[in-house]
Structure 1
Amino acid sequence: MQTDFLVIGSGIAGLSFAIKTAKNFPDKEITILTKANTDETNTKYAQGGIAVMSGHDSDTFDQHIQDTLIAGDGLCNREIVEIVVKEGPERVAELIEWGANFDKDSKGEYLQGKEGGHSQHRILHHKDITGFEIERALLTEMQQYPNIKVYNHWFVIDIITQHHLGYLVTKSTSDIECYGVYALNLHNGKTERILSRVTLMASGGVGQVYRTTTNPSIATGDGIAMVYRAKGRIENMEFIQFHPTAMYQPNTHQSFLITEAVRGDGGILRNHKGEAFMERYDSRKDLAPRDIVARAIDNEMKRSGTEFVYLDCRQMDKERFLQHFPNIYEACKRNGIDVFEQMIPVAPAAHYCCGGIKTDEHGCSSIRYLYACGECAATGLHGANRLASNSLLEALVFAHRCAEHATALFHNTSWKTEVPAWDTSGTTDPREMILITQGLKELQSTMSDYVGIVRNNIRLKRAMRRLDLLFEESQELYASTTLSPQLCELRNLITIGYLIVKSAELRQESRGLHFTTDYPEKAAILQNVVL
């Protein structure tokens, strides 16, 4: 296969880029690859909303910038923060033009919520399924462009570089180029070579590396792992955000998220004694940034020996709650909880990766002709901790910037037709799937037990030893058996685990989402960890 533009992933980042590129090049082909159904993305599960300067006299660009910098705990790139915040309103207006519906009041004015770390009400939302609504609007808009081709159930294995042409490629190679990808066609089991002139990695997050996550099953860090294998630069992987309030459901891997907007509307966190405990940890109480709230909950659980705390919504206005959070109400009801009579059991769950593929202000990775956007990218916006609802805004702004830069670059690109076909010689069908499934369980247990909200050097060392063994075992399987999505995902998740642990070992301080008992204070010198 050959295509002009290749997009890996069909969330807000990938679809926005594809639509813009299709407009700019109506005679060129844009190909989207996704390993599941087109709408099965992290975007779809975003509840809270999209943060954008409200336009009210009480809110300013500078306030949004400062809120982002404060949440990022000294590691944000201020230039990038200013770009995202100031370009955000135009990108959101464009999204509204494409048909995204955000909630309005009786006067037709947009309702804007407030979440942890924000000094103002600036969160646009569609009830408590904002991501679902954005995904719907983008998919509808995409239908207008016949030059966008979507291939569902294609699993991208690796990006193609000079390495596949027989050249030595290392981290110090300055001119690595992306020529496309090798992808497993899940319809027929064949691994295909897909050549492209420009490639966008928009593959989403890494939540499945942990035992409990708010992310869907597709969030296996594929794009980040692929770029690392291709010797691209990866940054700040130690900063994994745990959402403070996922519904506690024993033995459930994918947790139901209780959006931060519930606390923004008056929900109160309480421990098993019924005490509102957040005032002991931060003056902002329940609306402190997520890293602070997650650590506070973790500490309360450890002090009491319990597996969850409570989110108390009983004092909230019933009509308003049902209007703003109908899906949360129904989810709680399905689990036997009447939110107006009972408190919701909640616990932190892996939610968002603040690091990823290192990019510049145009979304360019360290590999030529390869862009990265969305959760898989480390743009410099989030620093050590993402401010609530900034991720959807970041994806919109950088999808636009990637598309603009790729438009200017495109005429200097061509296909590398001498790329060899995928070699399957010497492999057999896997005889025991248990080798893969058990490896995944061991990985998730290792990461959750040793590399969670609170860390130390002993835990990190143990985690690395176990990851080394898992890596060896998975490589043996990868070299000797035919490919399957399960094996490829395990391979990628082990790589993600390694990147998180290695970055955590290198950061000898506590900052943002990375808290270690060996170095409980911040260091004087700020720097990003690049692998």
Structure 2
Amino acid sequence: MTGQVSAHQAKTSPVWDARADLVVVGSGVAGLTAALRAQELGLHVLVVTKAAVEDGNTRWAQGGVAVVLADQHDAGDTVGKHAEDTLVAGAGLCDEAAVRSILDGGPAAVTRLRDGGARFDPTSAASSELARAREGGHSAFRVIHAGGDATGAEVERTLVAQAGTRRVPVLEHHIAVDAVRTPTGEVAGVTVLDRNGVPGVVRAPAVLLASGGFGQLYQATSNPEIATGDGLALALRAGATVADIEFVQFHPTVLYTPGARGRCPLVTEAVRGEGATLLDATGASVMRGVHPLGDLAPRDVVSAAIARHLLSAPGGVDDPVFLDATGIKGFAQRFPTVFAACRAIGLDPVADPIPVSPAAHFACGGVVTTVDGRSSVTGLYAAGEVARTGLHGANRLASNSLLEGLVVGQRVAEAVAADLAAGLLADPRRGRLPSQVTARVAERDSLQRVMSRYAAIGRDAEGLAVAGSVLDLSTTDSPLWTHEAVEDAALTLVAQALVAAAARRTESRGCHVRTDFPERDELSWQRGQLIRLSPSGQPVLADSISLEGVA
């Protein structure tokens, strides 16, 4: 499907044309789970991923999977208590029915994954009981993990191996550009580009976006280089509704390196769950008196506390704080990934505190969907970080994301099969290729700088106005003929949407912190904000969303 084409060909029609029942955009936990289940249901599936199949965001997840297994949990812990912790972390914006539905599906989803070959850490070599950790915001030890701190890598390994064994077709190094739509607006496939810019089209009655988040919107992030918001931008251009986009979770602890750009090594929250504490340069506790859970407070609380602490530090926000894990026995065995990252910069975490700082980590909002992935556009589904199911609200509870991908991924496949059987989806032959092959694009380095300065942890009206003005004035029309152009167009559109939503939300809630409106406003703002594209292609705020999600 690749080869050399002329500039004229690249500007006009696809070089190749394929068919499927379901196109899955992304090869992380949600995408591969959906693809495997869809294949079991007899659907012709094609997975499209812009990197190698194993290079999704899933493999970077360290902490684990938050789940209450029937035969392995703390005394008194229940799925209901897991739901309560999730609702508290979500700061009033979770959809309670969605939370309970997704978490109820967790034990069965994890059992399926283990039956498929996933190996989670036992309490001991001779035990069949799984080891469980506790992370920020959790009231019990319910986070199962693999390889110490390499849970995402094990989940990805398992799913990639299953996909290979079952011969699930995967189109690697191809980026999804735009939806193919019928004259009445249903999605009927996607256009793609290979790494050389060769265009193609996959026609299908169902498209699942499982493309991850947009951590590359910021200068420092825990996300890989491919997390550029492509799926979110594609959904907006296809007419879908987005919500809660202003809530970007910053992980409190990535390994600090001066002037860091791009993906920074994560220091999993489970390190604090094992007893590590956050200290400033003088040795004083960062979290003392901030929250009843101290160092195990929810991520938004810890990240904001670190940011406030550094504002008064001599070096300012560009300096680190320190995570003292020297009291954890067997650190190298329990956290081999963190240990290796520390040793790579000449640090011994067994003897020395680890310098850390917050970095962009997880998008709590996204394409508005039901708990089985249906969006507001017929034929378009979303799952994982690109979706807003209502599970996360204003701040994600640690280690809920892998669980969401496993549960919703399977449900999407079943929803697509049901919608196909009921004749609810469009005939792909009616799909028309997008008429526009250009988009507004800002220079990436400038965009990352302005978003990191004005739209990160602490925001205010003046800074958001500056960010919006810079984005408006610095964009130019660019043809979407390369991976880089598609990514930069996506980052630009997502940045504009985020800034608009953050400016309008005049309160602080979860991981949206307004320094000029520091209090939570339950009277006016206990609701999500809907975003769609205007006819001119600009993100506009629509009516608010109820906490019951979409029908």
TM-score by length of 1: 0.91
Name which of 485, 488, 492 aligns with 2:486: 488
Look up the match of 2:22: 5
- Listed as ranges, the matches of 1:6-85 within 5 Å are 6-25=23-42, 28-55=43-70, 56=73, 57-85=75-103
Deviation digits for residues 251-283 of structure 1 (CA, Å, limit 9, x no counterpart) = 322110000000000111000101112012112
- The yes-or-no answer on 1:447 pairing with 2:447 is no
1:172-251 equivalences under 5 Å are 176-186=185-195, 188-251=196-259
RMSD, aligned α-carbons: 1.7
State the distance in 1 between where 2:298 and 2:224 align.
Answer: 23
> Which residue does 2:464 correspond to in 1?
460
Does residue 295 (structure 1) correspond to residue 304 (structure 2)? The answer is yes
The runs of 4+ residues in structure 1 deviating greater than 6 Å are 422-425
Structure-2 separation of matches of 1:130 and 1:467:
37
Please tell me whether the aligned partners of residues 243 and 349 of structure 1 are also in contact (alpha carbons under 8 angstroms).
Answer: yes
SS in 1 for 2:266: coil
Displacement after TM superposition at 1:87 (Å): 1.1
Are 2:428 and 1:416 aligned?
Answer: yes
Listed one character per residue, the Cα deviations across residues 184-219 of structure 1 (whole Å, up to 9, x for unaligned) are 122x53211211021111010100000100000000
Structure 2: which amino acid aligns with 1:309? V
What's the counterpart of residue 171 of structure 1?
Answer: none
In structure 1, the residue matched to 2:336 is: 326
Contact 2:197 2:483 (8 Å CA) reproduced: no
Which of 93, 108, 119 is matched with 1:101 structurally?
Answer: 119
Give 2:498's aligned residue: 500
In the alignment of these two chains, the number of paired residues is 499
Deviation of residue 421 (structure 1)?
Answer: 5.2
- Alpha-carbon separation, structure 2, partners of 1:514 and 1:466: 21
Alignment correspondent of 1:130:
151
Counterparts of 1:378-457 in structure 2, within 5 Å, are 378-411=388-421, 412=423, 413-420=425-432, 439-457=443-461
Corresponding residue SS for 2:103: helix
Q: Which residue of 2 aligns with 1:430?
A: none
Question: Does the 8 Å contact 1:58/1:120 carry over to 2?
Answer: no
For structure 2, the residue ranges without an aligned partner over 5 or more in a row are: 1-17, 532-551
Structure 1, gaps ≥5 residues long: 166-174, 428-434
SS at match of 1:398: helix
Aligned to 1:270: 279
Deviations 1:324-345 (A, max 9, x none): 1012111101111111211111
The 2-side partners of 1:513 and 1:420 are apart by: 40
Residue 322 of structure 1 and its aligned partner are, at CA, apart by 1.9
The aligned amino acid for 1:22 is: Q
| Contact residue 470 and residue 494 of structure 1 kept, 8 A | no
Look up the match of 1:431: none
**8 Å CA contact 1:2, 1:196 repeated in 2:** yes
1:192, 1:422 within 8 Å by CA — same for their partners in 2? no
Distance in 2, Cα, partners of 1:209 & 1:503:
15
Match of 1:139 in 2: 160
Equivalent residue, structure 2, for 1:172: none
Name the CA distance, whole Å, in 1 between partners of 2:347 and 2:305.
Answer: 24
How far 1:48 sits from its partner (Å)?
Answer: 0.3
Residue 14 of structure 1: how far off its partner (Å): 0.3
Kindly provide the CA deviation profile for residues 19-58 of structure 1, in whole angstroms up to 9, marking residues without a partner as x: 0010010xx4210000011011110100000000144333
User: Is the contact between residue 189 and residue 431 of structure 2 (CA under 8 Å) also seen in structure 1?
Assistant: no
After superposing the two structures, state which structure 1 stretch, 295-304 or 10-19, moved more. Answer: 295-304
SS at match of 1:530: strand
Deviation for aligned residue 1:424:
9.4
Deviation at 1:158, TM superposition (A): 0.7
Contact 1:35 1:154 (C-alpha < 8 Å) held by counterparts: yes
Say whether the 8 Å CA contact 1:193–1:422 is kept in structure 2: no
Q: Tell me the alpha carbon deviations over residues 116-164 of structure 1, each in whole angstroms, 9 at most, x when there is no partner.
A: 0000000010111100000000011112323x210001111111224xx
Question: 2:153 matched to 1:160?
Answer: no
Q: Return the offset for 1:423.
A: 7.0
- Preserved CA contact (<8 Å) 2:187 2:426: no
d(CA) in 2 for partners of 1:392, 1:125: 11
**What is the identity, as a one-letter code, of the residue corresponding to 1:133?**
E
- State the AA in 2 paired with 1:222: D
Structure 1 CA distance, aligned partners of 2:256 and 2:67? 31
Q: Distance in 2 between matches of 1:419 and 1:118?
A: 46
* Equivalent position amino acid for 1:49 in 2: G
* 8 Å contact kept, 1:201–1:372: yes
| Per-residue CA distance 1:434-483 (angstroms, 9 max, x = gap) | x98x8100000010000010110001100000111233x1x2x22xxx61
Inter-partner Cα distance in structure 2 for 1:202 and 1:457: 33
Can you list the C-alpha shifts for 1:321-368, whole angstroms capped at 9, x where unaligned?
Answer: 122101211110111111121111100000000000000132101110
Correspondences of 1:278-293 after superposition (within 5 Å): 278-293=287-302
Tell me if the contact between 1:506 and 1:529 (Cα under 8 Å) persists in the aligned partners: no
In 2, are the aligned partners of 1:207 and 1:220 still within 8 Å (CA)? yes
User: Taking every aligned residue pair, what percent have the same amino acid on both sides?
Assistant: 39
User: Which stretch of structure 1 is more off in the superposition, 287-296 or 277-286?
Assistant: 277-286
Q: 2:25, 2:49 within 8 Å by CA — same for their partners in 1? A: yes
2-structure distance, mates of 1:409, 1:64: 31
Contact 1:4 1:30 in 2 (8 A): yes
CA positional deviation for 1:418: 4.5
Aligned mates of 2:256, 2:405 — CA distance in 1: 29
Closer, same or farther: CA 418–365 of 1 in aligned 2, 3 Å: closer
String of CA shifts for 1:494-515, please: whole Å, max 9, x gaps: 1110111111112111111111
Q: Secondary structure at the match of 2:443?
A: helix
Cα gap change, 1:280 to 1:374, in 2 (>3 Å): same
Q: Which amino acid is the alignment partner of residue 517 of structure 1?
A: T
Provide the C-alpha distance between the structure 2 equivalents of 1:465 and 1:414, rounded to a whole number of angstroms.
40
